[in-house]
Amino acid sequence: MKCLKRNMKLKLPVTMTIPLNSHYVWSSCGMESDDCGESEHEDNDRSTKESTATDSHTEDEIDDNTSNHVNVPSGTSVSNEPKFIVFYSKLLPIFSLFCFNCKTENPDVEMKTSGTMVTVMQSCSKCRNEYVWKSQPLVLGKYPAGNILLSFAVLVAGASISIKSSLFFQQYFIIGNLIAQNSFKKVKHLKDVVWCGDGRFDSMGHSAKYGVYTMMSTTILKIVHFEIVQDKFVLFKANETSGSTQTELEAKAVTKKLLQASNETGCEVIKFWIKGVRRHLYWCATSTMGGFGDLIVAKWKSFLRHVSNLHKDHPDPLYKECNHDDLEPRRWIRKGTAAHDKLSSIMTKTTLLGDVKKLSPEAQTSALEGFHATLNYWHPKMISFSWLGSYCRHILASLHFNENVAREDQTSRDGEIYYRVTYPKFKLGEEVVREVSVPPTYEYVETLKELLFGMTTAERNAVLSKYTSREPKPLKSQFPERKKKRDAVKTYEVNKARKETAPFPSDTCWQRSGVIPPHVSTKPSDDPSVSNCPNEPSRDSNLETELAAR
């Protein structure tokens, strides 16, 4: 958050987040009680004008068009109140100007902080009265509202800090609300929908502590369920549910093999058919009804005759003829050539045919991969979170994804749709045209804020206890017999104080035994450019010394 210096006429102690290029003149609207009289308001206005007289030239420099009056209705909730960032040097003169009770000048002022809240205590030596002012209202009995809202903002924004107080508020207030705002129950009971799933586990250079498997409904484009596990050997079979292979992953694997084959001698023509192979793979899956895996394989094999300009009388009876019109002349690959044999060996591999037979004809998991990209914002792979923290961050990512996955297209004033053209590497230079979506929305954040102060302590504790019991034990618990820290340090110090033994005899030991150390070379160099040391004993003398010792 960025702030600029600006002049403000304050009548009430408030805080507000200020956008850029804006100037505010504060006006009260029922946010304060009427305990103070008219004279006190006049004195405050007079003192405020005197204290800001030196900065009046700055106000003249600000354009009147940028001045906005901030009016706060009387029923505004704590979470929606305007908030300001106040500096110590600007807050102190207000309370040290005069006593708020007897108007005596220069009272004693003391400040204490509790997180983001500051408590100002004004004491007067004349009237012996004290005035206490707090910068934030207290919620839930004793907690400053700013501390809880800041922790809430940190978690919702996907950030992570290691301050103890922030983690305290996240655990006891925010996490319970997130779990309670689990909207997955609304979509789990839908009928006749297609579900797809994918896991998010280890990656290169990272060893995940927990793995997550996410289920998504491609019919309604919503995340409907996820499970966080710690055991990598979790496996079960459900015969009543049919599974399928991700088409985009198979296309990526085939493309990689064809690129390698096109670099071989005599197979250069394969690179002109890579895009056609990838498109044909998608067409085989999407043009076939579910349950007809053999037909998908028959369509896939027909491509070997298609590249040879043979489009009829295919050997497989399930698919006898290509489903296209007359084609223009292309760089056909004749049967019997090295390129055709290489292409046939790749496309008819047994493992690949088994995967092609299981391709999904109804839906793809590209949207689920998009969810994993969204999840990286709230739950980066390189940061280790607790099980409960991971669970809540997955809920946040799911809420954001479900709200913004099907956004409308952004249009101009004339109603024309904006398009964006990219040239990704995996498309081999082929352009990709997409519509530009409207900016994302964050309505789920407002719902969470309302729930933050709406849940009772009993409801929050019940939710926390329910999900805390589901947290798996850490993997180190399988080693119960472990030394305590005090005993481990004592053992380390004892081992460190011991006299270390050399891993091999020293040169002194070799000299006492009369045997030449094995790491000392006694052979003069045969290279004429290398001069031997004149003090080095000759080969014959060394040999005599060794024989005498034996």
Confidence class of residue 431 from pLDDT cuts 50, 70 and 90?
confident
Fill in the DSSP letter of residue 131.
E
pLDDT at 136 over 50: yes
User: What confidence score (pLDDT) does residue 436 get?
Assistant: 92
Going by their DSSP bridges, the two strands 23-26 and 67-70 should be labelled as: parallel
Do residues 383 and 409 make contact, with C-beta atoms less than 8 angstroms apart? no
User: What confidence score (pLDDT) does residue 409 get?
Assistant: 92
Record the tokens describing residue 28, joined without a space: 């009260």
85 contacts: CB under 8 Å, gap ≥ 6: 3, 15, 17, 18
Q: Which amino acid is at 101?
A: N
State mean pLDDT over 375-402: 84
CA dist., res. 132 & res. 191, Å (int): 60
Record the tokens describing residue 324, joined without a space: 């296209």
93 contacts: CB under 8 Å, gap ≥ 6: 51
CA dist., res. 401 & res. 379, Å (int): 14
pLDDT at 154 over 90: no
pLDDT per position as a tens digit, 81-91: 888 888 888 88
Whole-model pTM? 0.58
pLDDT per position as a tens digit, 306-364: 999 898 889 998 998 898 888 888 899 999 899 999 999 999 998 888 888 888 777 77
Do residues 180 and 463 make contact, with C-beta atoms less than 8 angstroms apart? yes
* Window from 209-213, 274-278, 441-445 with minimum mean pLDDT: 209-213
